[in-house]
Chain A
Amino acid sequence: MELIDVIVLVVKILIVLHIFLIGAAYVVLLERKVSAWIQDRVGPNRVGWRGSLQSFADVLKLVLKEDIVPGHANKFFHFLAPVISIAIAISVWAVIPFCSPFTVFGVEIQPTIAPNLNIGILLLLALSSLGVYGITLAGWASNNKYSLLGGLRSSAQMISYELSMGLSLIGMMLVMGSVNITTIVAQQGGYWFGWLPKWNIFVQPVGFLIFLVAAFAETNRAPFDLAEAEPELVGGFHTEYTGLKFGLFFLAEYGNVILMSALMTTLFFGGYHLPWVEDLPFFKDHTGLLALAQFGALFVKALFWIFFFVWVRWSIPRFRYDQLMNLGWRVMFPLALLNTVITAIVLAAMKSS
């Protein structure tokens, strides 16, 4: 690697870190505002213009709180658990492409941190399954019965839905013939019949539906938030965490919501592609403007799914634990397997005809 590559890499990592942190802060605010709107309340409106700085005030408060580690807790794992959670939530962003390549000061920029990584989806699934460790360790190390139950429930739930999540993507891989996310997005740029965007949602609707439900379970969001079911488990796995250590779990949860939204957009809704508009001759010479427009397209599409996450949380009651496991193992898993088989057979039939 040359020096310029290292500088570009460091700048890209810093930009993505800022997108992650500021994005998570505003998604928390969005959730509070939307929930207030759904419940006919006002929501946070004191800090900044209409509460726009509320999340930053909350972070400041969390940082200045006392750090309490219970006497019976395992000190090392109690420290390690939030670090694992946040590290996973940040590092999965390495494979998401934000827009098509563009040129700045004569340097061609690939707007992904790891652009040519040909194991894209595998790395993503591997890292996100490590997220289970953060929650399980937090529950176990706290030496608190509520935390332990929350951690156990959540680990069983996350690994159960990971099966369906992994399987639901196989149909998409069969169609695309690649696990490199940059390639997958690039292949969604064309049109069928000259006008319908080549998005994967049109060929893999069942796969997308399974992925969507699994994404809710993986992020421990309602209606699958059994890990922190507050009427029964106080706070679940983070009962014994104070201050910023709790804040990191919170940040990781919202970071994962943003990631899942970006991922659904990237894998099934054409990623950064802005159909019809990006083919205009104007964008041929202005790659920088095209990149900006495409980033805006990704942002808007992801924002819809983030809103969807919030909307579902405040509309649908929590599942019971046996219902949750039944849905995961007896409905989603066979359905995902069937989706894979049918996709493979249809593709083979199309090739031979």
Chain B
Amino acid sequence: MIEQYLPAIAMILAGVGFGIVSVKAHEWLGPHRMTAQKLTTYESGMEPVSSAHERFSVKFYLVAMLFILFDIEIIFMYPWAVSFRALGNFALGAMLLFIVTLFVGYVYIVKKGALKWD
């Protein structure tokens, strides 16, 4: 069972290893002549004003939350799609009911203006 996952895990490790080795090699090979000016934050030649870790638009949080909701709903459809032939028409009806419910929620979000960017 676990055997089929081992090659994929090996590939992930190869990717992480490649990333770490190349970044470390770059840190080691490049010159090291730090000055105070190089360490400042880039702000198009102006003196940097305050930190960048400030409040940002609430829209981004909204999109992230909606994404999690809808993505989980979509994950429910994958097992149904794979065994569609075996499940028959009852499962089709149940999934249509589910999609209609999902779509009503989607229409509610759109009408509320949660997806409006201006």
- Where the two chains meet, the residues of A that have a C-beta atom closer than 8 Å to any C-beta of B are 1, 9, 12-13, 16-17, 62-72, 79, 82-91, 93-95, 113-118, 122-123, 127, 140, 142-149, 152, 155-156, 159-160, 162-163, 166-167, 170, 173-174, 177-179, 234, 239-240, 243-245, 248, 321-322, 325-326, 329-330, 333-334, 337, 340-341, 344-345, 347-348, 351-352
Contact call B84/A234, Cβ cutoff below 8 A: no
**Contact status A113-B15, CB under 8 Å:** no
What is the interface of chain B, defined by CB distance below 8 A to chain A? 3-8, 10-12, 14-16, 18-20, 22-23, 25-27, 29-34, 38-44, 51-53, 56, 59-60, 63-64, 67, 70-71, 74-75, 77-78, 81-85, 89, 92, 95-96, 99, 102-103, 106, 110, 115, 117-118
In whole angstroms, what is the CA distance A193 to B22 when docked? 52
On whether the beta carbons of B26 and A244 are closer than 8 Å, the reply is: yes
Contact B15 A90 (CB under 8 A): yes
**Contact present for A72 and B89 (CB under 8 Å):** no
- Contact assessment for A91 and B14 in the assembled complex, using a CB-CB cutoff below 8 Å: yes
Instruction: Specify which chain A residues have a CB less than 8 angstroms from the CB of B71 in the assembled complex.
Output: 159, 162-163, 166
Indicate if the CB atoms of A143 and B18 lie closer than 8 Å.
Answer: no
Nearest CB on A from B25, distance (A): 7
B18-A68 in contact (CB<8A): no
Does the CB pair B19–A321 fall under 8 Å?
A: no
Whether the pair B78, A245 counts as a contact (CB closer than 8 A) is no
Q: How far is the CA of A140 from the CA of B67 in the complex (A)?
A: 20
Given the contacts A94-B11, A145-B43, A170-B81, A67 and B18 also touching, CB distance less than 8 Å: no
The B contact surface, by secondary structure, is helix
Q: Are the C-beta atoms of B7 and A113 separated by less than 8 Å? A: yes
Of the A-B pairs whose beta carbons lie under 8 Å apart in the complex, a sample of 14, sorted by A's number, is A1-B6, A70-B40, A71-B40, A86-B19, A91-B11, A94-B8, A114-B4, A115-B7, A146-B43, A147-B52, A160-B67, A166-B75, A179-B78, A244-B22
